[in-house]
Amino acid sequence: MRTSFEVADIFRVAGPAYRASHAGHLSLGQLKVMTAIENCRTAALGSHVEACDDCGHWRIAYNSCRNRHCPKCQGAAARTWLAEREADLLPVGYFHVVFTLPAEVADIAYQNKAVVYDLLFRAASDTMLTIAADRRHPGARIGITAVLHTWGSAMMHHPHVHMIVPGGGIAPSGRRWISSRPAFLLPVRVLGKLFRRLFRTRLLALFDTGRLGFFAAMAGMAESKVFLRHLAPARQQRWVVYAKPPFAGPQAVLAYLARYTHRVAISNRRLIAFGDAGVTIRYKDYRRDGADRQQVMTLASEKFIRRFLVHVLPRGFHSVRQ
């Protein structure tokens, strides 16, 4: 059921107070996102005339902001992207693989989005390419479409990469196709161990070369001993790599991509109520099963805006990669 309000309405009503109370603590990118969403499809961005060639009916429509974080603009962007990708799909089964960062690393990513998110992409893709090329597995060069999400259903910071991977790849000779098993792509425990090693090694290199910054409550992590102590639990724990069953044909792949490639932290469809009590939203609690998974929570307007802005990506950062 469509709600009578949108994220833009929340920003228009509660945004001025949020800007004032967080003056000096919001990035230029976050401020631009707020303004773009507030002004999207309003007179502030101007308008254009839409006319029907058949009946001659015309109307004035307000312009979209086209910001990639805007819930209203991403539908059209996703449709355009999908139309361009449809021809790239192969007539083979496709798998869905997810690489997730542990909480200790997510804390570091929170203050170092550009370099750590980029590292997440590279470590995950190198892991897939390395294991897939191993002759004990398919022994092939595979293709990958990867999408970064930085949120969980409740809008908390939860960086992870979704991958769509064909069930097979090109042989080292480049002359034939090697298929994976119908319901099995690569062993997730092997993927998890290599992903952990590659990511930790490269993260430590970023720290050693001074490419990580720490501020406020995390300022102490600029000291090597504190940084290594913070990362210590992630050294032993299992890093989550999850491979879902293969999709049921190319159309299912496209349907998945349509939902995931241009998704933002929360869609307008998940908003239930907005008033003095705050913002009420629907979310999924993945610790529960069945009907109990669907939950409802109410956040203070300030907390809702803060959670939304956590997921504003650095300027120029590509969240979909192939």
- Total domains present in the chain: 2
Kindly state whether residues 167 and 137 are assigned to the same domain.
Answer: yes
Tell whether 85 is covered by a domain. Answer: no
Kindly state whether residues 134 and 242 are assigned to the same domain.
Answer: yes
In which domain, by residue range, is 117 found?
94-246
> What pLDDT was estimated at residue 74?
74
> What pLDDT was estimated at residue 263?
83
Kindly state whether residues 144 and 216 are assigned to the same domain.
Answer: yes
pTM equals: 0.91
Kindly state whether residues 58 and 118 are assigned to the same domain.
Answer: no
> What pLDDT was estimated at residue 3?
58
Give the Cα separation of 29 and 125 in Å (integer): 28
Tell whether 234 is covered by a domain. Answer: yes
Strand segments (E) across 86-134:
94-100
Tell whether 301 is covered by a domain. Answer: yes
Tell whether 294 is covered by a domain. Answer: yes
Kindly state whether residues 170 and 45 are assigned to the same domain.
Answer: no
> What pLDDT was estimated at residue 1?
44
> What pLDDT was estimated at residue 77?
66
Closest by CA to 109, choosing from 226, 207, 224, 232, is: 207
Kindly state whether residues 59 and 109 are assigned to the same domain.
Answer: no
> What pLDDT was estimated at residue 17?
97
Asked if 179 and 107 count as a contact pair (C-beta separation under 8 A), the reply is: no
Tell whether 78 is covered by a domain. Answer: no
Long-range contacts of 27-32 (CB under 8 A, 24+ apart): 27/312, 29/312, 29/313, 29/314, 29/315, 30/309, 30/312, 32/67
- Secondary structure percentages of the chain, helix, strand, coil, to 5: 45, 20, 35
Tell whether 217 is covered by a domain. Answer: yes
Tell whether 105 is covered by a domain. Answer: yes
Kindly state whether residues 65 and 98 are assigned to the same domain.
Answer: no
Tell whether 81 is covered by a domain. Answer: no
Q: Which amino acid is it at 135?
A: R
CA atoms within 13 A of residue 21's CA, in its CB half-sphere: 10
- pLDDT under 70 in the chain at which residues? 1-3, 75-78
Kindly state whether residues 48 and 177 are assigned to the same domain.
Answer: no
